[in-house]
């Protein structure tokens, strides 16, 4: 889901460019305004200078128009436009602490012999602006003012040597047109600034919208259509710049996406067909496997009856010839023993096939009950002891006292342990030892429920690491030669593993070549029934010994 736009690119450009334009125009107009204010003030200054020059040149006679020193510090009255004050050198002391502008001008003229004028602005009692101009009257100027040589004036010292300050001429004047000019200038500047700013912003907006944002918006619309699944749309931007290159790249990308989409759709169709075929094959295999299991279960059940009869009659014949010692009867005894041995092996094979078929067909049910660990293990030891003594194998039981009972299927647990004990006795050498142990499984920190562990350890040849997974496969024996030393169908461990899964247990194997083997089954203390699905999940079995 695309994020909402908080500020469009057009508005962002407009704000940035507009701000830049306003800042630039404001800076330029401030400089112009300051210059125009200076020009407005230049008019009154020029008038005062011309007036002073005319007075010094003796072109005008002021007479009584000149004010005295006592009028020097008086502010220009609002009803007057001009005030003239002549202050000779002997009256400079009158302005001390009275008129700061005049006092500073006198000091300035005395320190700088070449300076002649000072100019400033002031306000009257009505807060109206007027201008103040001071002209320095030096020794050389007096000759002109007083009539020059015609008046018989002769300076005591040549002008080129010394030209001291002999007085000042103060001119206070108003300029009624100056405020108007300044206001008009401000109005013109403001109007020009606003017009220029608006025009610049409009130009920037037009350029940004037409040349920059318009192609971007087109690409955005194309991308939005593609995101909605329309792969047939194509970008058509002809600007002759990078936007056109981007448009061509966008179209090329769409071509690749469309081709990939078509390939993917074709692959998906093929995959759907394959999945359909696989589902049909899986159902057929499941049905075939179920039929096979039912067939094996039925056939095995039917074969057990004649085999039991054969075995029974063979035992009767063996008892009949048991006390006979004739050579012919000895031969018959050997034949009868071979018949009994072969029929028992065949019966064991059929029993294993029947159990495996029942497990695979889902016909094997759980019969739960409370089982005493000590009673069950002791019964197994007593059951296996004749076989162990015949093979000269020591049989030991290592079960602690007061172990709690286990709620499980006793028959299936005994069948697993019986298989472990049979294999241990079969593969242990004469004089060896087989130990059956039981105890609570140690906590591994995984938080699983409490378990009971049963283990059978022998002194046999051991099992190599690379063969420890393979021995749990159907009909698997490590010695596959026709003259193998140990008999068996290769189904015992397979059945044990299936039974362990039914008991929600786990079979582990600890062995290596030359150091015997320990088969163990770990079952829960309280087995709970599970609902078995009609078709089991396809899964990869974990290696034996892994949690």
Which residue in 233, 215, 214 sits closest to 224, CA to CA?
Answer: 233
- pLDDT > 70: percent of the chain: 78
468 shares a domain with 341? no
In this predicted structure, the answer to whether residue 533 has a pLDDT above a threshold of 90 is no
532 shares a domain with 393? yes
388 shares a domain with 278? no
Q: What is the H or E stretch that residue 243 is in? A: helix 242-320
If you average pLDDT over residues 431-436, what whole number do you get? Answer: 92
Model confidence pLDDT, tens digit, residues 201-234: 788 777 777 777 777 777 788 788 888 877 777 8
Q: Which one-letter DSSP state was computed for residue 446?
A: S
Question: What was the pLDDT predicted at 408?
Answer: 93
In this predicted structure, the answer to whether residue 349 has a pLDDT above a threshold of 80 is no
57 shares a domain with 178? yes
Specify if 209 maps to a domain.
Answer: no
Question: What was the pLDDT predicted at 72?
Answer: 65
**Number of independent structural domains in the chain:** 3
- Whole-number CA gyration radius for the chain: 62
516 shares a domain with 455? yes
Query: Which of 328-337, 398-407, 441-450, 471-480 has the lowest average pLDDT?
Result: 441-450
Specify if 196 maps to a domain.
Answer: no
**Among the ranges 136-150, 247-261, 474-488, which has the highest mean pLDDT value?**
247-261
Q: With bands split at pLDDT 50, 70 and 90, how would you rate the model's confidence at 448? A: low
Contacts of 348 (CB under 8 A, 6+ apart): 489
Q: What is the H or E stretch that residue 261 is in? A: helix 242-320
In this predicted structure, the answer to whether residue 156 has a pLDDT above a threshold of 60 is no
Q: What is the H or E stretch that residue 301 is in? A: helix 242-320
Specify if 253 maps to a domain.
Answer: yes
Distance, CA of 385 to CA of 20 (rounded, Å): 104
Burial environment of residue 450 by CB neighbours within 10 A (0 to 12, 13 to 18, 19 or more): exposed
Distance, CA of 469 to CA of 454 (rounded, Å): 20
- Residue scoring higher pLDDT (183 or 160): 183
Question: What was the pLDDT predicted at 379?
Answer: 92
In this predicted structure, the answer to whether residue 519 has a pLDDT above a threshold of 90 is yes
Final residue belonging to a domain, choices 334, 364, 394 = 364
Question: What was the pLDDT predicted at 208?
Answer: 77
| CATH code, domain carrying 429 | 3.30.565.10
- Residue scoring higher pLDDT (274 or 299): 274
Q: With bands split at pLDDT 50, 70 and 90, how would you rate the model's confidence at 542? A: very low
Specify if 226 maps to a domain.
Answer: no
373 shares a domain with 335? no
421 shares a domain with 327? no
If you average pLDDT over residues 107-122, what whole number do you get? Answer: 86
Contact 110, 137 (CB under 8 A): no
333 shares a domain with 285? yes
In this predicted structure, the answer to whether residue 501 has a pLDDT above a threshold of 50 is yes
Regarding pTM above 0.95, the answer is no
286 shares a domain with 247? yes
CA angle 288, 294, 298 (to 5 degrees): 145
Q: With bands split at pLDDT 50, 70 and 90, how would you rate the model's confidence at 371? A: very high
Instruction: List alpha helices for 404-543, DSSP H.
Output: 410-427, 492-502
In this predicted structure, the answer to whether residue 138 has a pLDDT above a threshold of 90 is no
Question: What was the pLDDT predicted at 233?
Answer: 78
Model confidence pLDDT, tens digit, residues 23-57: 887 787 777 777 776 766 677 888 888 888 887 77
Distance, CA of 84 to CA of 19 (rounded, Å): 51
In this predicted structure, the answer to whether residue 455 has a pLDDT above a threshold of 90 is yes
Q: With bands split at pLDDT 50, 70 and 90, how would you rate the model's confidence at 538? A: very low
Q: With bands split at pLDDT 50, 70 and 90, how would you rate the model's confidence at 99? A: confident
Specify if 216 maps to a domain.
Answer: no
Question: What was the pLDDT predicted at 71?
Answer: 67
Q: What is the H or E stretch that residue 85 is in? A: strand 82-88
Final residue belonging to a domain, choices 300, 334, 364 = 364
372 shares a domain with 313? no
Specify if 1 maps to a domain.
Answer: no
- Residue scoring higher pLDDT (297 or 422): 422
Q: What is the dihedral of CA 472, 474, 478, 480, to 10 degrees?
A: 180
User: Does residue 443 sit in helix, strand or coil?
Assistant: coil
Distance, CA of 508 to CA of 34 (rounded, Å): 99
Specify if 376 maps to a domain.
Answer: yes
In this predicted structure, the answer to whether residue 143 has a pLDDT above a threshold of 60 is yes
Which residue in 320, 345, 343, 344 sits closest to 333, CA to CA?
Answer: 320
Q: How many CB atoms lie within 10 A of CB 144?
A: 14
429 shares a domain with 532? yes
If you average pLDDT over residues 336-341, what whole number do you get? Answer: 79
- Residue scoring higher pLDDT (455 or 85): 455
Specify if 169 maps to a domain.
Answer: yes
Q: How far is CA 530 from CA 366, 403, 451, 527, in A?
A: 10, 26, 18, 9
Q: With bands split at pLDDT 50, 70 and 90, how would you rate the model's confidence at 481? A: very low
Average pLDDT over the chain, rounded to an integer = 78
Question: What was the pLDDT predicted at 397?
Answer: 93
Question: What was the pLDDT predicted at 248?
Answer: 84
What is the extent of the structural domain holding 450? Answer: 366-479+487-547
Model confidence pLDDT, tens digit, residues 61-95: 666 667 766 666 667 777 777 888 888 888 887 77
If you average pLDDT over residues 333-337, what whole number do you get? Answer: 78
273 shares a domain with 406? no
Contact 106, 169 (CB under 8 A): no
Which residue in 140, 80, 90, 146 sits closest to 114, CA to CA?
Answer: 140
In this predicted structure, the answer to whether residue 197 has a pLDDT above a threshold of 50 is yes
CA angle 426, 429, 435 (to 5 degrees): 70
Final residue belonging to a domain, choices 161, 183, 205 = 183
Q: How many residues would you count in the chain? A: 547
């Amino acid at each position: 889901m695309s994020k909402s736009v908080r500020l469009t690119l057009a508005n962002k450009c407009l704000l940035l460019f507009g701000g830049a334009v306003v800042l630039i125009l404001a800076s330029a107009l401030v400089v112009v305004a300051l210059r125009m204010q200076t020009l407005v003030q230049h008019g009154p200054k020029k008038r005062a200078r011309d007036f002073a020059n005319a007075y010094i040149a003796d072109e005008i006679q002021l007479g009584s128009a000149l004010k005295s020193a006592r009028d020097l510090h008086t502010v220009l009255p609002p009803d007057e436009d001009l005030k003239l004050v002549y202050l000779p050198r002997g009256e400079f002391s009158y302005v001390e602490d009275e008129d700061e502008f005049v006092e500073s001008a006198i000091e300035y003229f005395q320190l700088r012999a070449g300076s002649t004028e000072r100019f400033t602005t002031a306000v009257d009692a009505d807060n109206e602006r007027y201008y103040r101009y001071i002209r320095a009257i030096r020794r050389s100027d007096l000759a002109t003012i007083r009539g020059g040589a015609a008046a018989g004036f002769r300076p005591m010292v040549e002008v080129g040597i010394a030209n001291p300050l002999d007085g000042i001429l103060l001119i206070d004047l108003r300029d009624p047109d100056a405020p108007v000019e300044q206001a008009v200038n401000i109005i013109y500047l403001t109007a020009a600034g606003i017009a220029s700013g608006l025009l610049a912003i409009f130009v920037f907006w037009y350029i940004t919208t037409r040349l920059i944002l318009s192609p971007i918006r087109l690409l955005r619309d194309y991308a939005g259509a593609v995101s909605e699944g329309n792969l047939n749309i194509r970008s058509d931007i002809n600007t002759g710049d990078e936007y056109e290159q981007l448009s061509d790249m966008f179209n090329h990308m769409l071509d690749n996406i469309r081709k990939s989409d078509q390939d993917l759709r074709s692959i998906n169709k093929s995959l759907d067909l394959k999945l359909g075929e696989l589902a049909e094959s899986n159902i057929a295999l499941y049905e075939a496997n179920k039929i096979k299991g039912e067939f094996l279960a039925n056939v095995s059940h039917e074969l057990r009856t004649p085999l039991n009869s054969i075995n029974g009659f063979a035992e009767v014949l063996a008892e009949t010839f048991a006390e006979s010692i004739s050579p012919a009867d000895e031969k018959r005894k050997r034949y009868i023993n071979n018949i009994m041995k072969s029929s028992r092996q065949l019966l064991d094979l059929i029993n294993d096939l029947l159990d495996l078929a029942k497990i695979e067909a889902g016909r094997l049910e759980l019969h739960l009950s409370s089982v005493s660990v000590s009673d069950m293990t002791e019964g197994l030891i007593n059951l296996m002891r004749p076989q162990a003594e015949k093979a000269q194998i020591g049989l030991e039981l290592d079960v602690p006292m007061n172990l709690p009972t286990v709620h499980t299927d006793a028959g299936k647990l005994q069948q697993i342990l019986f298989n472990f004990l049979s294999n241990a006795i079969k593969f242990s050498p004469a004089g060896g030892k087989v130990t059956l142990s039981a105890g609570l499984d140690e906590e591994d920190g995984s938080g699983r429920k409490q378990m009971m562990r049963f283990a059978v350890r022998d002194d046999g040849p051991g099992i190599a690491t690379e063969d420890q997974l393979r021995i749990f496969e159907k009909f698997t024996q490590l010695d596959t030669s026709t003259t193998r030393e140990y008999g068996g169908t290769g189904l015992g461990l397979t059945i044990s593993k299936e039974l362990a899964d039914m008991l929600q247990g786990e079979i582990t194997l600890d062995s290596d070549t030359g150091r015997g083997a320990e088969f163990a089954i770990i079952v829960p203390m309280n087995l709970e029934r599970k609902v078995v699905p009609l078709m089991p999940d396809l899964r990869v079995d974990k290696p034996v010994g892994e949690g």
